[in-house]
Structure 1
Amino acid sequence: MSDAAPTDVVPDSEHRGLVARLPQVPRDLAMLARFDRPIGWWLLFWPCVWGVWLAGAGWQLAMLGWLLLGSIAMRGAGCVYNDIVDADLDRQVARTASRPVASGRVSRKTAWGWLLALCLIGLLVLLQLRFEAQLVALASLALVAAYPFMKRITWWPQAWLGMVFTWGLLVGWAQFRLDQLPALAAVYGGSALWVIGYDTIYALQDREDDAMVGIKSSALRLGESVTAGVALFYAGAVALWALGIWLLRADWIALLALLPVAGHLAWQVVTLDPADPANPLERFRSNRWAGALMAAACFVVGNA
C-alpha cells in the first residue's frame, strides 16, 4: 500500500480501506469515478426502481440488475466529466483539491479515456431497453453535459441536478408503459425536489470554500434559512409524490405507503445541524434509506 494513500482518499470516502489497497493508478481511476462513494449510484439507482415498480411491472429483478449496472457506470462517467470540467475550481476547495484530475495524478487524456470506457458500459445497458426507453435515456445527455456549468451561472445548480439524478424514474417507467403521464410528472417533480433537498444538505460542507472561489449553491443562497429550505423541499417532494400516487390510484390507503419515507425526511430536517461538519454528510448519506422506503411505497402502490 502506498504511503500516500491516506491523503489521496477524499475526506467523504466511505471505503477508505478498500480504495487504499489498490495500486496507485487503479485507485485514482476508482476515485475519479467515485467507486469509493457508493451513495451516489444508490441515489441514481433508486428512481429507476421507483419507475419500474410504480409502473406495476412486478419485481423485474433482471431489468433492475441492468439498471443498477447502468447507474454505477453512468454516475461514474458523470463524475469523471465533472472533474475534467471543474479541475481548476476543485483545486481551490479543500474537500476536492485532492481529486485525481485536480491534483494532477490523472491526466485529462487518461480521464477522457476512462470516461469513454464507462460510457461503453452505459451503452451496453442502453441496448437492453426497449426503443421508447432508449429514447428517454438518451434525452438526458444534454442535461448531464450542462450540469457542471450550472454552479457558475445560478444559485440553484441543485435544481438542475434534480432533473438529472431522477431521470431514471422516467426510463424505468417508459420501459414498461407510456400512459398515465400526469401521475408520472407529479412523481418526477417530487423526486427532483427530494434531490434539491439532499444536495443542499451535501453542499453545506463546502459553503466557506464555495463563497471564496465564487461557486454558487442553494446552501449559500439560503443562508441561515437552510434548514427551513430543506424542510420546504422535502415537504414539496412528499406532496407531489402523494399527488402522483393519487392520480395513479385514487385510494387513501395507497397514500399511507408514503408515511415511512415522509417520516425519514422529517427526521433529517429535525436532526440537521449545519454547524456540525459531520452532521450534513451523515444526513445526506441517509437518503439511500429514503430511496429504499420510497421504492417500497412504489411497489405497494404499483403492484398491490
Structure 2
Amino acid sequence: MTEEVEQIIPDSELRGVAGRLPAAIRPFWLLGRFDRPIGSWLLFWPGAWAIALAGKAFERWDLILWFAFGSIVMRGAGCVYNDIVDRDLDRKVARTAARPLASGRVTLKAAWIWLLLLCLFGLVVLLQLNLAAAITALASLGAVAAYPFMKRITWWPQAWLGIVFSWAALVGWPAVTGGFGPALWLLYGGSIFWVIGYDTIYALQDIEDDALAGVKSSARALGARARLGIGICYGVALCLWCAAFWQIRPQLLGLIALFPLALHFGWQLSGLDRHDPADALRRFRSNRFAGLLMFLACLVVGATA
C-alpha cells in the first residue's frame, strides 16, 4: 500500500537519487525532502537577492554558495522538525500520509538524531558569517520552531511561513554590508508577500483533507477568492520590491528589471485552477524560476547602482 501511495502522491517521490538509495537510507532522504529541492530553492533565493541587491554578488560569490548549502541542510532540518510536530496530522491527509514518520518507516528517536545532524551541518555555514549576520541567523530559530503550530491557531500560517522563508534576506544583507538598511526591509517585506502567494497556491492541493483534519490555511480562508488573494499578495510584493530598488537606484530603468517577474506572476495567476492539485503543484514549483528572475533583477540594480 505504501508503494502505491508514494506513486500517486507528489509529496513523496521516488524518482532520481531517492529511487537509487539503499532502503535503509531512503526514508531519511525523504524525511528531509531532499527528493523535492523546490523548498531549498525557495529558502535560498531571498538571501541571494539581498547579496545581489547590495552590489556584492560577484565579489561574494563564495557566500552565495554557502547560502545555497545552508538552504539545503536547514530546509531539510526544518522539514524533519515539521514532520515530528505534525506526524499525527500527516496521517490524516492523503498527500502526507506516506511521509516516513507518519507511515512509521522512521522512528521518532531516529528523526530527532537526524535533525541534530542536519543542524550541525548548518553550524558550518553559520561560522562563515560575520557577527551581525550570525546573530540574525540564530534569531530565526524561534520563528522556525513556532511555524508548525501556526496551522492550528491561525487561518494564515502562510504569513508566518513568509517570515521564516524570507529570513535569509535578513542574513544576507548584513553578511556583506555589516548592517541593515531601508532597502533590505522593503526586500524582506516583499518576500513575505511572495511566500504567502505561492504557499497559498501550494495549499490548494489540500483544501478538502485540511478541512477534515481541522488544519487552517490561507487557501481555505480565501476559498473561491484564492486567485484574487494570491494576485494581491504578488502585487504587494512587486510594489515593495520596486520601492527597494528605488532605494538603491532611483531611476525608472531599475524598476523595468522587475517586468519579467511581473509577467511570470501573471502567468501563474491566469491559468490557475484551484480545483486541480496537479496544476497547483506545477505553478507552485514555477516559483524557483520566479526567484531566479528576481535575482537577475537584483543583480542588475545592485551592480549598476
TM class by shorter chain equals: over 0.9
In structure 2, the residue matched to 1:48 is: 47
Identity %: 58
> How much has 1:184 moved relative to structure 2?
1.1
In structure 1, the residue matched to 2:18 is: 19
Paired residue type of 1:24 = A
Q: How does 1:242-281 map to 2 (within 5 A)?
A: 242-281=242-281
Deviations 1:126-155 (A, max 9, x none): 001111110111110100000000000000
> How much has 1:180 moved relative to structure 2?
6.0
Sort the Cα spacing of 1:159 and 1:69 in 2 relative to 1 into closer, same or farther, 3 A.
Answer: same
Paired residue type of 1:210 = D
In structure 1, the residue matched to 2:168 is: 168
Paired residue type of 1:169 = A
Aligned counterparts of 1:197 and 1:8: Cα–Cα separation in 2: 27
Deviations 1:190-240 (A, max 9, x none): 110000000000000000000011000000000100001000000010011
SS in 2 for 1:36: coil
Deviations 1:157-209 (A, max 9, x none): 00000000011111110101145622211111111000000000000000000
Aligned counterparts of 1:289 and 1:209: Cα–Cα separation in 2: 29
Could you tell me whether the CA contact under 8 Å between 2:187 and 2:241 is conserved in 1? yes
Paired residue type of 1:38 = P
Could you tell me whether the CA contact under 8 Å between 2:45 and 2:295 is conserved in 1? yes
SS in 1 for 2:257: helix
> How much has 1:7 moved relative to structure 2?
4.1
- Unmatched segments (≥5 aa) in structure 1: none
Aligned counterparts of 1:301 and 1:228: Cα–Cα separation in 2: 30
> Structure 1 length as normaliser, TM-score?
0.96
Deviations 1:37-95 (A, max 9, x none): 00000000111110111111132221111111100000000000000000000000000
Aligned counterparts of 1:282 and 1:140: Cα–Cα separation in 2: 29
Paired residue type of 2:159 = A
In structure 2, the residue matched to 1:215 is: 215
Paired residue type of 2:47 = C
Aligned counterparts of 1:13 and 1:148: Cα–Cα separation in 2: 19
Could you tell me whether the CA contact under 8 Å between 1:14 and 1:38 is conserved in 2? no
Sort the Cα spacing of 1:236 and 1:265 in 2 relative to 1 into closer, same or farther, 3 A.
Answer: same
SS in 1 for 2:176: coil
The number of residue pairs the alignment matches comes to 302
Aligned counterparts of 1:235 and 1:92: Cα–Cα separation in 2: 34
Paired residue type of 2:123 = L
Higher mean C-alpha deviation, range 176-185 or range 197-206: 176-185
Paired residue type of 1:282 = R
Higher mean C-alpha deviation, range 17-26 or range 207-216: 17-26
SS in 1 for 2:177: coil
Aligned counterparts of 1:89 and 1:209: Cα–Cα separation in 2: 10
SS in 2 for 1:56: coil
In structure 2, the residue matched to 1:200 is: 200
Paired residue type of 1:80 = V
Q: Displaced runs of 4+ in structure 1, greater than 3 A?
A: 3-10, 12-15
Sort the Cα spacing of 1:128 and 1:226 in 2 relative to 1 into closer, same or farther, 3 A.
Answer: same
- Unmatched segments (≥5 aa) in structure 2: none
1:37 has 2:36 as partner: yes
RMSD of aligned Cα (Å): 1.5
Aligned counterparts of 2:212 and 2:126: Cα–Cα separation in 1: 41
In structure 1, the residue matched to 2:303 is: 303
SS in 2 for 1:24: coil
Paired residue type of 2:303 = N
In structure 2, the residue matched to 1:186 is: 186
Paired residue type of 2:85 = V
Aligned counterparts of 1:258 and 1:173: Cα–Cα separation in 2: 20
Could you tell me whether the CA contact under 8 Å between 1:180 and 1:248 is conserved in 2? no
Aligned counterparts of 1:187 and 1:17: Cα–Cα separation in 2: 35
In structure 2, the residue matched to 1:85 is: 85
Aligned counterparts of 2:93 and 2:199: Cα–Cα separation in 1: 17
In structure 1, the residue matched to 2:67 is: 67
Aligned counterparts of 1:35 and 1:185: Cα–Cα separation in 2: 30
> Structure 2 length as normaliser, TM-score?
0.96
